[in-house]
Structure 1
Amino acid sequence: MSNLRSWLGQKSPEEIEHFLGDIPRLWLEGGQLNKLSRLLSNYEFIEAKLNHPEFGIKALIEDYELINDIDLAHPDYSEQTIKSLKLIQGALRLSKHILSQDQNQLAGQLSGRLLDCDTLDIQRLLQQIPQTETTCLRSLTATLNPPTGPLLSTLSGHGDSVNAVAVTPDGTMVISASSDHTVKVWDLNTGAEVLTLTGHTSPVNAVAVTPDGTRVISGASDNTVRVWSLATGKEIQRFNRHSLPVVALAVTPDGKKVVSASIANYESMKVWDLETAKEELTLIGHGDLVRTVVITSDNRVISGSDDGTIKVWNLTNGKMLFRKIHGQKDFQGRVNSEPVYAMAVSRDDKWLISAGSSHKATNIIIIWNLETRTKAFTLEDDNNPISALDLTPDGKQVISASFDNTIKVWNIKYQEKKLTFIGHDYSIYDIKVTRDGNKIISASKDQTLKVWNLEFQDQHIQVIENKNSVNDVTITPDGKQVICVSKNKIITVWDLEQKNILYGFYSNHNSNYNLFIRKSQIFEKYQTFSNS
């Protein structure tokens, strides 16, 4: 099958379309698993299907889903072959947002993501790339995110920052809200854009999905809350009673009501009946804008505000049940209130998680016991303020997003940070965990959404934190140490095996003259220090 391009060149357009579109499925149904595996690991097939006007990257990625249907007891089954095909699919999924714009980057994307994969099928695939007649740039080293890492895919298509994200209850669709005035619907598996909902005339700041998965609700800076049919993409309801931009939304568990919050300091929270399309209540009590709203399974509304309070409301009569001050105690034992940027509630309604801005160097995530109405414990984060929160369905992990472009996974039982995911270019504005607890979806100022594998548990990853900005990082020639240069001109040498600090010393280089210390200077300093 190495001369597939030549063979296809002798076929009619109808025959080419049949081969690229139908043959993978027919070979699977006919039990020709070896032929199917060789086809899906053939570079010329991948290139041909990607470039065909009737198929493209979405259809190509879907071909590899056929592998899920393989009977593991089949004599042609090979664990290494299936692993290779899944890695190829993962590389294509990671590259989708690039290849949908420029198919000529196929060679560079595959080689940049798969060069470190040592399976025989992938090495054969990569060996085919230099033989292609297409002019292309090809990576000589694995410089791109690999399919073995935590990042699964990037959803690209918005023309401005992505401000909010929601996931349908069945976990198949992602809904995003953007400052480009649109709401988009994405296929989570393929990363393809399914629908674009247009109608808002200003940035869309919040989005939610009804529990039955049939309607999308959006809130925007045009002061409206709109309800859309997920099947048709048509607007079916509109609520116009807010006087200022809408920034937060939550839907009741029965899908009959939606609570919206605007930046108004007074009468900012409204309750709408989705069946009658009428405003039912206005929740009054916060002294500043409400940034975040969640609803418990027993229909209690919980709101977090810039006034530094969290308030719990009765949804039936609009009365406040109780309030808590979000913040930490000072040396005199007084709680200093701090703005609340994000909240999440556990499925059993026992735990409320809150986070926000802090006047101190340390930002905190507070875990509240809703049954006792007390603070259970706090998690401390030394980086930028936290912008979004979610909980895994089992309630064991807190997921936080920050203005420092990172996502962190926290273990509630041990009250510690577990993982840090890095990949966005700018601040992350929202995150959601899929209902099966396997994936995180993040929305960012960089105009993209990213899908992360929450099951990723690489024990080799060690997050090395520094109180000051890190301006340069390099590895010693023997590969045993990593050297970090901080903004305060402190050079730190870490042991990569023991994951601890070996040495630290001060560099007298003038930061105004050269802020980034050259690697050769680092090695010279390192050798001088280690030999002394």
Structure 2
Amino acid sequence: IMSDSDSDFSDNSEANDDEKVSRPKQIRGVADFVDLSFHPSTTYTLATANMNGYVRLYNCVPGEECEQLAKVRVSKKPCRSLSFSYDGEDVLILTKDRTMHFVSSATGNLTRRIEETHRSAPYCLSVIDKNLLATGDDDGTLKVWDLRKGKDAVMTSEDKFEDYVSDIAVDDKRRLIFAVCGDGTMATFNARQRKFIVHSQNEESDLLCAKVIKNNNKVLVGSADGPILLYNWNEFAAPSDRFPGHPGPVDCIAKVSEDVVCTGSADGLIRAVHLLPNRFLGVVGDHHGLPVEKVEATHDGKFIASCSHDNLIKFWSVDHLKSVEVCPREKAIKQKRTEKMSKSGVGHGKMAFFSDLNNDIDTSTYINSSSSSDELDSDSDDAS
């Protein structure tokens, strides 16, 4: 109940717009989430992985609390990367103990394991097609796997990178893979022919994430120094364009359309960015100063989910971004870098703060009442 002294908040149009946005309510976990992935076709089925080795599946409905469908602890070590399979039948998880786990998205049961996938801890995973996937580790080794051919990789590259493989992007034809590295370079491979194509020039800054955009005509790469790098197709040795403006590292990218992406940064803000012409559209999400670890879009591009070091997964509406048109003759507006877009559900002031409290959902709600969630998500060897 609001008193007369609070009436100024009720007149806040941004806050009122924020309350009208229908998006899934945020999920509160008991340990930091490290990765998340949406099902490639079904309506808003979300898989999450956390630092304690747990994988959970949720059904996310706009305007409602997310329903936990399954929970399994795949390892006593932290999860490192997670993705749905190409057909969505399985969730693939890499853990710090160098194991790849397969969890059925229908039953939530662990169905398969591949042990000792890398010599060092794996860092990232990317699905190429229904049979092929690529993984990268902390020492710069890239591997391509054919799930029909047992437990050995069909391609291994150990000499292209001098640091960790931070992300792997796949083109729309499921043929080329682009691996970016902490040593400041990007390597391009032909996954079907199992061969290396080209190594890019060194950018002298960690390359952190990559996406293929513009209908398979551009590769977009986020850097630790802030600029977004754009590579022309078949010209992957050096970027053709640089888009500065982020105040810190661009840690992750989610593709909303062929022209618009959402970037997660170390300052906790998720920004909508239009590419070619390059413009900031506004802020669509906020983790209040904590680095954004992952941002992922639904298969229809209506929502994105994000996670940070706050044990939360937050949802933001981005459907309105798909129809944005940018005139190349208009001057860029600097304020757009920090201007919050109420249509996405990120508001201003005290109203937005109090409304966020109602969005929290504790995963322990779905855990057997005979055991606390802290016990079940413990890192101790006695946890089952």
The question of a shared fold, defined as TM-score above 0.5 by the shorter chain, is answered with yes
| Contact 1:427/1:446, CA 8 A, preserved across alignment | no
| Contact 2:298/2:304, CA 8 A, preserved across alignment | yes
Structure 1 runs of 4+ with >6 Å offset: 142-145
Tell me the amino acid that sits aligned with residue 147 of structure 1: E
Partner of 2:76: 201
| Contact 1:341/1:386, CA 8 A, preserved across alignment | yes
Q: Secondary structure at the match of 1:338?
A: coil
Please point out which of 385, 390, 395 is paired with 2:249: 385
Larger relative contact order (CA 8 Å, sep ≥ 6): 2
Partner of 1:453: 317
Partner of 1:186: 58
Partner of 2:190: 314
Tell me the amino acid that sits aligned with residue 418 of structure 1: L
Instruction: Specify whether residues 372 and 270 from structure 1 end up closer, same or farther in structure 2 by C-alpha distance, changes over 3 A only.
Output: closer
Matched, 1:245 2:112: no
Tell me the amino acid that sits aligned with residue 385 of structure 1: P
> Residues 101-128 of structure 1, C-alpha deviation per residue, up to 9 Å, x if partnerless?
xxxxxx89xxx9xx9499xxxxxxxxxx
Matched, 1:270 2:143: yes
Aligned residue runs from structure 1 range 425-464, under 5 A: 425=288, 426-456=290-320, 463=336
Partner of 2:27: 156
Instruction: Specify whether residues 316 and 464 from structure 1 end up closer, same or farther in structure 2 by C-alpha distance, changes over 3 A only.
Output: closer
Please point out which of 261, 266, 273 is paired with 1:403: 266
Partners of 2:105 and 2:315 lie apart in 1 by 21
Q: Secondary structure at the match of 2:239?
A: strand
Shift in Å at residue 168 of structure 1? 0.5
Please point out which of 420, 423, 432 is paired with 2:286: 423
> Residues 136-182 of structure 1, C-alpha deviation per residue, up to 9 Å, x if partnerless?
xxxxxx98994235x83443242221111111112420111211211
Instruction: Specify whether residues 235 and 408 from structure 1 end up closer, same or farther in structure 2 by C-alpha distance, changes over 3 A only.
Output: same
Tell me the amino acid that sits aligned with residue 310 of structure 1: M
Instruction: Specify whether residues 464 and 431 from structure 1 end up closer, same or farther in structure 2 by C-alpha distance, changes over 3 A only.
Output: closer
Structure 2: tracts of 5 or more residues without a match: 325-334, 340-347, 350-384
Provide the aligned C-alpha RMSD in A: 3.1
Q: Secondary structure at the match of 1:147?
A: helix
| Contact 2:271/2:337, CA 8 A, preserved across alignment | no
Please point out which of 203, 224, 228 is paired with 2:103: 228
Partner of 2:49: 177
Name the stretch that deviates more: 420-429 or 210-219.
420-429
| Contact 1:163/1:429, CA 8 A, preserved across alignment | yes
Shift in Å at residue 413 of structure 1? 3.1
Partner of 2:218: 351
Shift in Å at residue 406 of structure 1? 0.7
Tell me the amino acid that sits aligned with residue 292 of structure 1: D
Please point out which of 142, 149, 156 is paired with 1:282: 156
| Contact 2:166/2:207, CA 8 A, preserved across alignment | yes
Shift in Å at residue 347 of structure 1? 7.3
Tell me the amino acid that sits aligned with residue 197 of structure 1: V
Instruction: Specify whether residues 382 and 423 from structure 1 end up closer, same or farther in structure 2 by C-alpha distance, changes over 3 A only.
Output: closer
Partners of 2:312 and 2:205 lie apart in 1 by 30
Please point out which of 178, 183, 196 is paired with 1:302: 178
> Residues 224-252 of structure 1, C-alpha deviation per residue, up to 9 Å, x if partnerless?
11111111111122122222222100111
Shift in Å at residue 456 of structure 1? 4.5
Shift in Å at residue 464 of structure 1? 7.0
Shift in Å at residue 399 of structure 1? 1.4
Considering fraction of residues, name the structure with more helix: 1
- Please report the TM-score for the alignment, with normalisation by the length of structure 2: 0.74
Please point out which of 77, 86, 90 is paired with 1:215: 90
| Contact 2:44/2:298, CA 8 A, preserved across alignment | no
Partners of 1:227 and 1:382 lie apart in 2 by 36
Q: Secondary structure at the match of 1:348?
A: coil
Shift in Å at residue 264 of structure 1? 2.0
> Residues 28-79 of structure 1, C-alpha deviation per residue, up to 9 Å, x if partnerless?
xxxxxxxxxxxxxxxxxxxxxxxxxxxxxxxxxxxxxxxxxxxxxxxxxxxx
Shift in Å at residue 390 of structure 1? 2.2
- Please report the TM-score for the alignment, with normalisation by the length of structure 1: 0.54
| Contact 1:283/1:318, CA 8 A, preserved across alignment | no
Shift in Å at residue 348 of structure 1? 3.1
Instruction: Specify whether residues 196 and 347 from structure 1 end up closer, same or farther in structure 2 by C-alpha distance, changes over 3 A only.
Output: farther
> Residues 478-531 of structure 1, C-alpha deviation per residue, up to 9 Å, x if partnerless?
xxxxxxxxxxxxxxxxxxxxxxxxxxxxxxxxxxxxxxxxxxxxxxxxxxxxxx
Instruction: Specify whether residues 145 and 157 from structure 1 end up closer, same or farther in structure 2 by C-alpha distance, changes over 3 A only.
Output: farther
Shift in Å at residue 317 of structure 1? 4.6
Instruction: Specify whether residues 347 and 250 from structure 1 end up closer, same or farther in structure 2 by C-alpha distance, changes over 3 A only.
Output: farther
Partners of 1:464 and 1:338 lie apart in 2 by 22
Q: Secondary structure at the match of 2:20?
A: coil
Aligned-pair identity in percent equals 16
Which has the larger Rg?
Answer: 1
| Contact 2:285/2:316, CA 8 A, preserved across alignment | no
Tell me the amino acid that sits aligned with residue 164 of structure 1: D
Partners of 2:315 and 2:60 lie apart in 1 by 8
Partners of 1:454 and 1:350 lie apart in 2 by 23
Q: Secondary structure at the match of 1:308?
A: coil
Q: Secondary structure at the match of 1:212?
A: coil
Please point out which of 206, 209, 213 is paired with 1:339: 206
